[in-house]
Amino acid sequence: MTTTQGTTQNLALEDDPLWYKDAVIYQLHVKAFCDGVQDGVGDFVGLTEKLSYLRELGITAIWLMPFYPSPMRDDGYDIADYVNIHPAYGTLKNFRTFVREAHRSGLRVITELVINHTSDQHPWFQDARSARPQSVRRNFYIWSDSDKVFPQTRVIFTDTESSNWAWDPLARAYYWHRFFTHQPDLNFSNPHVVRAVTRIMRFWLDMGVDGLRLDAIPYLCVREGTSNENLPETHAVIKQMRAVVDSHYRNRMFLAEANQWPEDVRDYFGEGDECHMAYHFPLMPRMYMAIAQEERHPIVDIMGQTPEIPEPCQWAIFLRNHDELTSRW
């Protein structure tokens, strides 16, 4: 392929089921990377043109932040259509071209599977609002007549949200949201939801995506009398999805975004049958702390609290991403 950056070598991907163990991953937001059609917004045309440049950086994989149709109230993590491309970034054809050329360049592609919640503009939620109570369509989300249910569950964004429940005037009921009011949580106790999400996962894997970052997975399932984090039911859903991947695809990877202590994140590896990778969130700020203090103790301390994981699995150690650079750990 001839691009503005020169000729992209046909390096072809190795047939390596453990490629993620020593991957060098570069995170980027399509809209902010390269404008290929000169309209002021980054797009897949521009990104494809820059693959040679990315390869020259020494990376082996590209992690794309959400690029789906969205109202953009949460930088694209509020998804309104799981199986399409935001029109500002291009088309599905542009995406297929990007994946094909990335692979020819020897680069793998990791995308976001944001399944804890949708945008309130997603057709599923709009259908649920008007559907009969207790129907399959209504139960794609979690509803209650009271906003006092699940009192043990913490509010994550206390600076903007006072409750995990929000009133919907059309449904005449409260809906559950662990993130923002405009991002209602899907109901993973409903098998129809699990099947729908699995179809979305397969859509992108069939497009050639090599890895899926599972956003906010500690909060997938809920149950009365719990904190609604890290529940056994959540692990059962992940195992079910992983089994589909293992049965139908080769050399694919799940990356857990579980912003928890290492002993809690350990469970998201399962026995090698859940996620292949998981972020080590507490390590990252301690690397900065160690540099500032000129002292290795912050790193040694957190590594001492880090449990062993199954041999095929890998901690994802990162210097920086869009989520986190705080000292709360």
Q: What tens digit of pLDDT does each residue of 258-291 get? A: 998 999 999 999 999 999 999 999 998 899 999 9
pLDDT digits (tens, 9 = 90+) for 113-153: 999 999 999 999 999 999 999 999 999 999 999 999 999 99
Say how far apart CA 209 and CA 110 lie, in whole Å. Answer: 6
Which tokens sit at 6?
């020169």
Domain closes at, from 141, 176, 211: 176
Cα–Cα distance list, 315 to 5, 65, 267, 307 (Å) = 33, 20, 12, 11
Pair (243, 146) in one structural domain: no
321 within a domain of the structure (yes/no): no
27 within a domain of the structure (yes/no): yes
Pair (64, 166) in one structural domain: no
Pair (133, 243) in one structural domain: no
31 within a domain of the structure (yes/no): yes
Pair (302, 230) in one structural domain: yes
Check residue 273 and give its pLDDT. 98
Pair (75, 219) in one structural domain: yes
Check residue 320 and give its pLDDT. 74
Check residue 16 and give its pLDDT. 97
328 within a domain of the structure (yes/no): no
Pair (17, 139) in one structural domain: no
88 within a domain of the structure (yes/no): yes
pLDDT digits (tens, 9 = 90+) for 227-240: 999 999 999 999 99
Sheet order of strands, 211-214 included:
25-28, 61-64, 108-113, 211-214, 253-256, 277-279, 314-316
Check residue 6 and give its pLDDT. 37
189 within a domain of the structure (yes/no): no
Overall pTM surpassing 0.75 (yes/no): yes
Domain closes at, from 176, 191, 218: 176
Pair (107, 213) in one structural domain: yes
Pair (95, 216) in one structural domain: yes
Pair (310, 216) in one structural domain: yes
326 within a domain of the structure (yes/no): no
Number of domains in the chain: 2
Check residue 191 and give its pLDDT. 97
Which tokens sit at 79?
């998804």
Check residue 325 and give its pLDDT. 57
Domain of 227 in residue numbering reads as 2-116+203-316
Residue 117 per-residue DSSP state: B
Kindly list the averaged pLDDT for each block of 10 residues, start to end, along the chain of length 329. 41 91 96 97 98 97 98 97 98 98 98 97 98 97 98 96 98 98 98 98 98 97 97 98 98 95 95 97 91 95 96 92 59
- Whether the CB-CB separation of 313 and 276 falls below 8 Å is answered with yes
322 within a domain of the structure (yes/no): no
Pair (7, 142) in one structural domain: no
Pair (109, 211) in one structural domain: yes
Q: For the domain that residue 258 is a member of, what is the CATH number?
A: 3.20.20.80
Residues annotated as catalytic are 215, 257
Pair (34, 111) in one structural domain: yes
- Whether the CB-CB separation of 161 and 184 falls below 8 Å is answered with no
Would you give the end-to-end CA distance of the chain in angstroms? Answer: 46
Which tokens sit at 316?
């994802």
Which tokens sit at 239?
């195992």
Environment class of residue 38 by beta-carbon count within 10 Å: exposed (0-12), middle (13-18) or buried (19+)? exposed
Say how far apart CA 61 and CA 64 lie, in whole Å. Answer: 10
Q: For the domain that residue 155 is a member of, what is the CATH number?
A: 3.90.400.10
